[in-house]
Structure 1
Amino acid sequence: MELVKYDEPTNGLVQAGTVYTDADYAISDSTRLRLADSSPANTRRAYTRQWTQFTEWCAQPGAIRIPLPATPQTYADYVSHLADTGYAPSTIEQAMGAIRSCHTAAGYEGRPESRAALLVLRQYKRQRAENGQNQQKEAPPVTVPILQAMVDSCPQDTLIGIRDRLVLVLGLALMGRRSELVALNRPDVTVVPDGLEVALRTSKTDKDSLGTIIAIPRGSHPLTDPVSALLAWTDAIDAAGHHDGRLLRRLYVHDTIGTKLGGDSINEIVRAAAIRADVPRADEYTAHSLRAGGATIAYAAGVPISIIAKHGRWAINSPVLLRYIRAVDRWRDNAMRNVGL
């Protein structure tokens, strides 16, 4: 990220004739690192990849273009190129976000002008809809019967089975993102009389890292009770001498316990449990199935959207959350229900 240097301050707050030196525009290494780390790691990686692809496209022989600052024509033409290549609209939107973010960081706020690019994307979405390609692929939500079947498939006489049970139960009850789950340390999850209190130090929507505590009630089914799932795992790792550090950990051969679990491993655990339980579309289940399942189950049970949003760290008008709600409503509030057909 580069800071913009203004040779002629014009905001009226600086006296005429003020002379800036190089020191006024220099930043320390620690400032540079904090600026670089100001966005989540996944976002930085995705934006870096998208920006690299854009600059490589701009450098093609025969039609070399300037990527920074890009003209509205270059921006729109690149969006059209991505559409011609067959990328999903969500991927194109990510690329557009990366390009505009890099322009903003370089001091080109509001550039490139995006009206033409957005019209190209809108036409592409309409074209995909007409061709039946507009269905969003989403991980199936884990319902209560499916959760019970998946947990039942985890052998409780092995460390892997005990850990995987906790991942499934805690992930759904917390409506947790995989990044939130793998970041949990032992002291972050505590047992209280009514269940568990989970302290999330930061999350995707907690821009200022204020942190929050999520309360998770005790369960009514022994295998899917979050408290018993937690205690079974902590007792197991305590016995192996791991009393602090990350809560969820990678396991190696001969039950060797690692220091932490990666986000991709959550996907693998969920998918493997779905396959063992012989769940329909098992290979489509991911960590997001737990988050989606928690919201879906809660709404079907009559929990207000505002409470679900707060529990799952969604904005109240989150389009993702509203998709889960609509999936329940299309059957619960169906116009043709009980009409006597």
Structure 2
Amino acid sequence: MTDLEPRPVEGVVPHDPNAVLSPAALDRLDRSVPDNTKTAYRRQARDFIAWCEERGRDTLPASAQTLADYVSHLCDQDKAPSTIEQAIATIRVAHREAGHDGQPDTRAALRILKTHKRDRAEVGKRKRQSAPVTLDPLRKMIDATDPATLTGQRDRVLLVIGFAMMARRSELAALHISDLTFTDDGITVLIRKSKTDQGADGAEVNIPHGVHPDTDPIRVARAWLASLAERGTTEGPLLRRINRWGQLQPGGMSGWSINERVKHLAKAAGLPNADAFTAHGIRAGGPTEAAKAGQPVAFIADHGRWSKTSPQVMEYIRTVDKWRDNPMRGIGL
């Protein structure tokens, strides 16, 4: 439910019993939307409401002119196109859930957004992408950790397991100790739910042994689990919170804290353009290196839980192919 939706009045019984949802149904509907999505939608809704109130415009239903003018306002603030697209989606969802099907008319708003994208391109602004954490920066970030400390061991698991399973930060944050099963071939990681797993069927990712001790997923994971067990922790979140004194804390890391940790490690490693590295770079590094090694696209997509026709995974592959299959290579320049 967004802040644009009308709220029911307590004590008033709807005239139509067919329009009533049970508390259990309402709860499941609410939980069907990820928390970070709900937070983003609420923020977008609040901003739109405030803008409309300042100008005496209606929020529900909003006219096509109101939406177009609001989008233009966001363009004036030089908001990223993705942020503006999210704002439009938020307003459309609020209208649909309030019963205003087909409203608002987004055609003018989308044309303004298209102009905004072109204007940004003309001044050299492009979609910001997280730098992939490929093997070289991964090893430098590993070298920046101290394996003799809890924090260092935890960070190594974050980096190596995240890289090897091509993990989203939300997937890493959701991992529990019991989700790791060690076999003769390596580790099988159970992902209970993920962004693209709409049916919550779960998925298993097989991670083989590595060849370097510091980046061998099995060795790194076993060292971390042994340290946790020594402190009486054998269940619960895999990636644990650790305070500034290196002491284990209750609860696991959030997706946000994982992202901040990757940024910190990139800076600690002295990586060039360190600000470009985020948790998404961990996910992007695996397919990039796999493509360099000549692994089939279908294998990469399956391992990273992408659709085999995903434009995202193909973007990683094309980046590698542009260098490997460059028409200027070997022509004698």
TM > 0.5 between the two?
A: yes
Query: What's 1:13 paired with?
Result: none
Per the alignment, residue 231 of structure 2 pairs with 240
Whether 2:76 is the aligned partner of 1:84: answer yes
The structure 2 residue matched to 1:260, chosen from 247, 252, 257, is: 252
Matched, 1:47 2:41: yes
| 1:70-219 matched pairs, under 5 angstroms | 70-133=62-125, 135-219=126-210
CA distance in 2, matches of 1:256, 1:180: 21
Q: Distance in 1 between matches of 2:205 and 2:191?
A: 8
C-alpha displacement at 1:236, in angstroms?
Answer: 0.3
How big is the alpha-carbon RMSD for the aligned residues of Structure 1 and Structure 2?
1.7
Percent identity between the aligned chains?
47
Whichever residue aligns with residue 27 of structure 1, its letter is L
Q: Could you say what secondary structure the match of 2:79 adopts?
A: coil
Q: List alignment gaps of at least 5 residues for structure 1.
A: 4-19
Secondary structure of 1:107's match? Answer: coil
Letter in 1 for 2:237: R
Match of 1:304 in 2: 296
Contact 2:160 2:216 in 1 (8 A): yes
Partner of 1:16: none
Name whichever of 307-316 and 240-249 sits farther off.
307-316
Q: Against the structure 1 CA distance between its residues 30 and 179, is the aligned structure 2 distance closer, same or farther, given a 3 Å change threshold?
A: same
Taking the aligned partners of 2:206 and 2:277, their CA distance within structure 1 comes to 26
DSSP-derived class of the 1:59 partner? helix
**Residue type at the aligned position of 1:86:** D
- Worse-superposed segment, 159-168 or 104-113: 104-113
| Among candidates 20, 29, 49, match of residue 23 of structure 2 | 29
CA distance in 2, matches of 1:213, 1:167: 18
**How far, CA to CA, are the matches of 1:215 and 1:254 in structure 2?**
31
> Per the alignment, in what secondary structure is the counterpart of residue 198 of structure 2?
coil
Deviation at 1:190, TM superposition (A): 1.1
Instruction: Give me the TM-score of the superposition, normalised by structure 1.
Output: 0.90
- Alignment partner of 1:214: what SS? strand
- Return the alpha-carbon distance in structure 1 between the equivalents of residues 174 and 159 of structure 2: 16
Secondary structure in structure 2 of the residue aligned to 1:257: strand
User: Any idea what the Cα deviations from partners look like across 1:227-281, whole Å, max 9, x if unmatched?
Assistant: 1111000000001001111111001235233221121221222222222222111
Taking structure 2 as the reference length, the TM-score comes to: 0.92
Partner of 2:306: 314
Deviations 1:103-157 (CA, angstroms, capped at 9, x unpaired): 1222223321221111111111111111212x12112111112212211221111
Q: Residue 271 of structure 2 aligns to a residue in which SS?
A: coil
Which of 248, 268, 278 is the aligned partner of 2:270? 278
Shifted more, 124-133 versus 175-184: the winner is 124-133
The alpha carbon displacement at 1:192 in A equals 1.1
Structure-1 separation of matches of 2:204 and 2:88: 35
Q: Deviations over 1:283-340 (max 9, x none)?
A: 3211111001111111111122222222112233333323322221221111111111
For this pair of structures, how many residues does the alignment match?
Answer: 322
